[in-house]
Structure formats: structure tokens, C-alpha cells
Amino acid sequence: MSRIAEIRKIQLGKRLLGLHKDEVAYRGMLNNMFGVSSAADLDAKQRYRLIRHMEELGAQFSSKGKTNPGQPRQNGDNFYVIPDNAPYANQKRYILVLWKALGWSLKGIDTRMRKQFGLDSLVWVQDQAQLQTITKDLQNRCRKAGIDPDNA
């Protein structure tokens, strides 16, 4: 998703949450989370985190049937976008295949990334060693569950 589209989404979230009526609360949220007073000052990871935070607060962003391959987020339990230009995109997709083969909800992958690596999304993992750790763990779990990880 482009920077402009993310800023627009943040502005939509601001309206959906009623923060457009309380500029002090909105700017306070930005300051508490990122130390800035404007969404224009956020980098890509911070914009993503703000959008996710707004979703957690109840903002529901609906797509009009379009998927955006640049948006690193999941839609429901069955879909998760890994952009083609993401580092190690194929390995990340393989991790998602193993995750689904185990019957786990894709919503849980970002929770694991936060707990294990302090990152908000699998998309943001850029360390090959971290990806290998996840891959090996999931392969072992698949084998224990009777699933061939090479044919998952």
C-alpha cells in the first residue's frame, strides 16, 4: 500500500473511531505511540502499526473486493498477503503454508512474531536466522502431526 493510501486509511480510521472530533486525543495517541503529532511523520512500519491499533480499537476498514499486494495484513483466517518485494518472500509463504497445514488460524502468525521477535508482522521479519527458526519449528510440528512438510 502506498504512503498516501496508508495516510488516507489512517484518516478514515480517525473518523471511524470518532477521533476527528477530538484532535487532542488523536494527537495524544500519536505522541504516546510514536512521539510524533502527525501521521505524516510516521514511517511505513509505524503507519502499519497505527492502522492495526485502530483496528484493535474497533475501526473496520472494508475493502471493495480488491486486494492490495502491498498490504501486509491478513483478511480473515484464510488469506495473508506477502508482497513479492518482501525480503525472503518465498520462505515467508512457505511458513504460511506450514502454519495452515497444521490447521492454525493465520491470525496467530503475527501474535507469534510479536512474542518471539518483537515484530508486528511476519512481513517485517528480515533476519534469515529468525525465518529458519520458525521454519524448522513448523516442519517439526508438521512431522509430529503426521503431515509431510515437503508436500504441505
Dump pLDDT digits (tens) for 91-137.
Answer: 998 999 999 889 888 778 888 988 888 887 888 888 999 999 999 99
pTM (whole model) above 0.75: no
Is residue 60 exposed (0-12), middle (13-18) or buried (19+ Cβ within 10 Å)?
A: exposed
Residue 135 neighbours by CB under 8 Å, 6+ apart: 91, 94, 95, 98
First and final C-alpha spacing in the chain:
30
Find, among 95, 104, 91, 107, the residue nearest to 138 by Cα: 95
Question: What does the pLDDT look like over 55-85, one tens digit per residue?
Answer: 888 888 775 444 444 444 444 445 677 777 7
